[in-house]
Amino acid sequence: MAASEKTGERSTVVQHEGFLRHRGFRWAWRALALCLIAGAGYLLIDVQPRPNGGSVFGYAAGTVAAGLVLWLTLLGLRKRAITSGQWSLKAWVSAHVYLGIAVLVIATLHAGFQFGWNVHTLAYALMVLVVVSGLFGITVYAILPRYLSRNRGETTQKQMLETLKALDRQITEAAQPLSEEQASVVRLSLDESRVGGGLWRRLSGGRGGCGNRKALKRLTGLRRRSTDVQLQMLDRMEGLLQRKAAALSQVRRHLQIRAWLSVWLSVHVPATIALLAALVAHIFSVFIYW
């Protein structure tokens, strides 16, 4: 109702506020406060013989860290649930980021900088992996979208693929009069110009073994042995292949940026599940060998 009452009023200009800046870095300050409290406890409580996870401070910090890890994991469920109210997903993600960084500090103080070849340090190492991969994710989220947008221009991914298909159709048609040798070169472009594929291929831009590029190279050789009529056809074909090369480059760049934007999740999510298992083993083993 409040909205309807305001109808006709001049709307205030709302600037986009990302999850990192949410509400004036509210969760960053809270996470910092948590870290400072943990740090003060670590420095002020003289744990003998040396700081360790088995002291009262160690257990307190460990309990807080384990609770935070469980809550941070819940983002996977929260983002799938459409809710209304104060707990916006943006606030949740903001808290996820900053409290996730705080966990790194609190868990390190919980361990008292004591590490060994055991299940406890495994849990710690997995937590570090999760947090570091998350930090990487934040970094690419902050940097890459502008490159993605710049590369894409006004087109969508679907339009890019449609362009490729259209070019393939045109190339197929234009190649009909060509000789066997020339046609086989054109077929390289049609059959071996892969887009996407494995993780490393996506991350690296996937230009290796590009059929279109091979076809363009060989086309130069074919021109020497061609008649004038064939040369005309080959000129047209080269133009089409050049256009396809540009389209392929755009699609591959698009996919490369998207791969970098999502590859950290391939570490973050499985490492989180592994961390949960290691955390259960860590807590359970401490209490069973009490």
Residues 6+ apart with CB under 8 A from 253: 151, 205
Among 6, 87, 162, 225, binds other proteins (CB under 8 A): 162
Which residue, 28 or 215, is less far from other proteins as judged by CB? Answer: 215
Using left for φ > 0, alpha for ψ between -120 and 50, and beta otherwise, residue 189 falls in alpha
Cα distance between residue 105 and residue 160, in whole Å? 45
48 in contact with other proteins (CB under 8 A)? yes
Minimum CB distance to other proteins, residue 74 (Å): 15
Among 8, 24, 85, 116, binds other proteins (CB under 8 A): 116
137 in contact with other proteins (CB under 8 A)? no
Q: How many CB atoms lie within 10 A of CB 245?
A: 18
Among 115, 208, 221, 232, binds other proteins (CB under 8 A): 115
The dihedral built from the CA positions of residue 62, 64, 68 and 71, taken in this order, carries a sign that is positive
Tell me the number of residues near other proteins by CB under 8 A. Answer: 68
Q: Of 56, 52, 47, which Cα lies nearest the Cα of 112?
A: 52
Which residue, 31 or 109, is less far from other proteins as judged by CB? Answer: 109
Which residue, 36 or 265, is less far from other proteins as judged by CB? Answer: 265
Q: Of 150, 258, 148, 171, which Cα lies nearest the Cα of 219?
A: 171
127 in contact with other proteins (CB under 8 A)? no
SS (H, E, C) 120-187: HHHHHHHHHHHHHHHHHHHHHHHHHHHHHHHHHCCCCHHHHHHHHHHHHHHHHHHHCCCCHHHHHHHH
Among the residue ranges 97-105, 145-153, 192-200, 231-239, the one whose residues contact other proteins (CB under 8 A): 192-200
Which residue, 20 or 276, is less far from other proteins as judged by CB? Answer: 276
Residue 221: CA count within 13 A, CB half-sphere: 7
The residue to which tokens 């903001």 are assigned: 94
Minimum CB distance to other proteins, residue 5 (Å): 46
* Mask for 238-277, x = binds other proteins (CB under 8 A): ----------x------x---------xx--xxxxxx-xx
Which residues of this protein are in contact with other proteins, per CB under 8 A? Answer: 45, 48-50, 52-54, 56, 59, 113-120, 122, 157-158, 161-162, 164-165, 168, 172-173, 175-180, 183-184, 186-187, 190, 193-199, 202, 248, 255, 265-266, 269-274, 276-278, 280-281, 284-290
